[in-house]
Structure 1
Amino acid sequence: MWGSLYLYVPFLPIRAQDLGASNTMVGAVIASYAIAQVALRIPIGVASDLLGRRKPFALIAIASAILGALWLGVSPNPLNMFFARTVTGIAGAGWVALSILYASYFTTKGTAGAMSRIMAVNGIALVLATLTGGWIAELISPAATFYSGVIAGAIGFLLLLMAPEPPMGERKAYSKAIFLSVARTPLLILVSIISVFAHFVTFATSFSFIPIYAREIGGSESQIGYISTAMFAGGVLGTIAAPYIARRIEYPRAVLLGLGLMGASAVIVPALDGVLGLGVSQFFGGFGRGLEAALLMTLAVLSVAPAMRATAMGMFQAVYAIGMIAGPVVAGVVADSVDIDAVFYLATAIAMIGGALVFLGRIPQRAE
């Protein structure tokens, strides 16, 4: 699924600009990906727990990725891109079901490792997708990356059809009281809010204005793809390293380290005038993103009982999707009102606020 969604991501803001979008409209196109995620992630989580099924929702998600990629490929203007990208957001919302489906193959004690592994697999898919997308854009055209997303999605859909779904086991009757008890879980609330700030930074920079900045300093299509690949490669290493770093310096400091790397990678961008330096900064920022994302997701899953984890995951992902909307929209307005450099300084400040929140709540030193 993620290959289908990210083959074209490095070129999405550039494509929108080429079709006449302002920086503000570019931000709106990028942000539209999160609209369905805010609206659907909690319902998907609740419905998945009610039915005791994860796989049907995951299949719908991949089908949405296929449809959205096709629509993006044929979009004649930025407004069409906005709506097409919104459809791909349905696929992103399905990450709730897909991630919990994967976790269901493991015991509670294996949850932390499972979350780290699926985040790593996710990251590897993004690395391969952006790398391949860069080659496709260079050899054929940026528009060809959208149709490649359709093909990748179709392959993923067929593979998931063949995958078994383990039985959920004993389930408690679902009620409004149970839903509210999950929603009021202090740890879930805290890690969700921190994740809003982290996603603001990522979607304001790496997914929106880093590709545009790269083109402004002379980056080719393939080089823009490599920069995104470097960010995702760092993310893979960050997710793999997350459980080991957390054991060594404990969860709060590990989350703070991740946010610190993200902020540092943003603040240095305006001083960079070459694609190599930009790629290096994105690698370290990606490492920080992978580190904090894996740890916060683990804490969100472990904050509730196994039977309620899809609901908790839906809430966690729906809340952090607010950052996915706000980041590109605010960044687009700032870029039009001030300049693109100001976007990166703003992202640094947001990362620092997210880091400060680590100390305002009770994040456990370790998660078992």
Structure 2
Amino acid sequence: MLNDENASVKPKGSSVALFCIITALYWFSLYAYIPIFTPYVESLGAGHTMTGLIVGSYGLTQLLLRIPLGIVSDRLRKRKIFVSLGMLLSLGSSLGLWLVPGVWGALIFRGLAGAAASTWVAFTVLFSSYFNEGQAQKAIGTINVFNSLGQMLATFAGGWLAQSVGWQSTFILAAIVGAIGLVASLFVAETRVPTKQPLQVEQLLKVGKSVSLLTVSGLAILSQFVTFATVFGFTTVHAQSIGAGEFEMGLLTLISTLPYMLASTLVGSVFATRFGERRTVTIGFAIVAVCAAIIPFTRSMSGLYISQAIGGFGRGMVFPVLMGLSIKTVEPDKRATAMGFFQAIYAVGMFVGPFLVGLISDAVGLTGGFLATAAVGTVAAFVAWASLKPLSRSI
């Protein structure tokens, strides 16, 4: 039986294509300066701990905002307005980082970028509504490709621009792309949910009590811990220490993102279908753990490129599967709340990962921080194997 959202007339292919482009612009705006951001923050005088806090502020604001935004989106039964809001906040964040240089400016406006990223719940649920109920994995896999494409293009362009013009230019680039995305978002097609009765707060709270949702959200915390401690955290600091320039740091982030995009594409059609979600996630975590452990022992950029490409593929085996599982067993009118809960919970890893690794790195050095990250990935592999079972609809 088709759900209410899917019972609506489906948008045309051109609307789906436009949404994919907007998704890429959204993530481009949020990630154009990421290749140089951690070294940039440390160049402002921040230590590893403060740097970790600034990088983690992106996750902290998501932790605070994603559940409320999911609930409001469900109650309003509208998603498009939150897509435009996300583009607007991303634009404001980029402008702030450009106009207010300094450690505290970096903390405040990277936190604002996290507020922008909090609207990602609306993106994923609205895009999923363009597909039939049984195509949740396909929808999530597709939108994750454009998520990764935006990040990939952003990191490449940002790294090149930083080396050619200067670090501040990456914030300007992010702002320009955010403005374009904001205008484009006004033309997004929205499938409306027919009103039956207002959603009750008790029903919404019940979403967060689902054992299956808590399980995949917990695993997502560990996944984001590793990702934001390494790829979007301290890997570029290590790269700089072995002689990498701005372009090479951008290329490093690109090389870790491209295999992620490839793996995301294959998740629905190959990995989850042929090997099962449990095995796919477990193997992915194991790959990520090994690649995190290798980082501090690489002494050449070629070795770092190879290890991070393999690690990116492992991340692509993990995260899209977990995202699809987060709404797979949830009733259609509660999916935005479930996705908001999932994304808010995994934001714990986005905050704790870089902050904790920053603390460890200040105490014992970056090698200790990377090895601690690898340990988290190893634990995640065992937890995934032990906890992921066939899921049944319960909420």
TM-score (norm 2): 0.90
Q: Indicate yes or no: 2:139 matched with 1:100.
A: no
Q: How does 1:1-368 map to 2 (within 5 A)?
A: 1-169=26-194, 171-243=196-268, 244-364=270-390
Q: Displacement of 1:116 after TM fit?
A: 0.5
Say if 2:295 and 2:304, in contact at 8 Å, map to a contact too. Answer: yes
Partner Cα distance (1:303, 1:353) in 2 = 26
SS in 2 for 1:86: helix
Partner Cα distance (2:264, 2:32) in 1 = 21
The one-letter amino acid of 1:254's match is T
Say if 2:212 and 2:391, in contact at 8 Å, map to a contact too. Answer: no
Count of residues paired in the alignment: 367
The one-letter amino acid of 2:352's match is A
* Alignment gaps of 5+ in structure 1: none
State the Cα deviation string for residues 83-121 of structure 1 (Å, max 9, x = none): 111111111101011111111111101211000000111
Say if 1:40 and 1:93, in contact at 8 Å, map to a contact too. Answer: yes
State the Cα deviation string for residues 202-229 of structure 1 (Å, max 9, x = none): 1111111101000000001100000000
Q: Displacement of 1:74 after TM fit?
A: 2.4
Partner Cα distance (2:151, 2:319) in 1 = 15
The one-letter amino acid of 1:128's match is L
Q: Displacement of 1:126 after TM fit?
A: 0.8
SS in 2 for 1:190: helix
Matched with 2:11 is: none
Q: Displacement of 1:365 after TM fit?
A: 7.9
Q: Displacement of 1:149 after TM fit?
A: 0.2
Say if 1:103 and 1:115, in contact at 8 Å, map to a contact too. Answer: yes
SS in 2 for 1:359: helix
Say if 1:172 and 1:307, in contact at 8 Å, map to a contact too. Answer: no
Say if 1:250 and 1:365, in contact at 8 Å, map to a contact too. Answer: no
Partner Cα distance (2:114, 2:301) in 1 = 29
Q: Displacement of 1:352 after TM fit?
A: 1.2
Say if 1:65 and 1:153, in contact at 8 Å, map to a contact too. Answer: yes
Partner Cα distance (2:166, 2:215) in 1 = 43
Say if 1:171 and 1:307, in contact at 8 Å, map to a contact too. Answer: no
Q: Displacement of 1:266 after TM fit?
A: 0.4
Q: Displacement of 1:170 after TM fit?
A: 5.3
SS in 2 for 1:268: helix
* Alignment gaps of 5+ in structure 2: 1-25
Partner Cα distance (2:277, 2:126) in 1 = 25
Say if 2:48 and 2:361, in contact at 8 Å, map to a contact too. Answer: yes
Moved more, 313-322 or 254-263: 254-263
TM-score (norm 1): 0.97
Partner Cα distance (1:215, 1:201) in 2 = 20
Say if 1:250 and 1:366, in contact at 8 Å, map to a contact too. Answer: no
Does the C-alpha gap of structure 1 residues 15 and 289 become closer, same or farther in structure 2, counting only changes over 3 Å?
same
Say if 1:104 and 1:168, in contact at 8 Å, map to a contact too. Answer: no
State the Cα deviation string for residues 131-158 of structure 1 (Å, max 9, x = none): 1111111211121001100001011111
Partner Cα distance (1:221, 1:332) in 2 = 21
SS in 1 for 2:387: coil
Partner Cα distance (2:119, 2:31) in 1 = 15
Does the C-alpha gap of structure 1 residues 5 and 292 become closer, same or farther in structure 2, counting only changes over 3 Å?
same
The one-letter amino acid of 2:51's match is V
Does the C-alpha gap of structure 1 residues 173 and 336 become closer, same or farther in structure 2, counting only changes over 3 Å?
same
Partner Cα distance (1:359, 1:134) in 2 = 38
Aligned CA-pair RMSD? 1.4
SS in 1 for 2:53: helix
Does the C-alpha gap of structure 1 residues 362 and 76 become closer, same or farther in structure 2, counting only changes over 3 Å?
closer
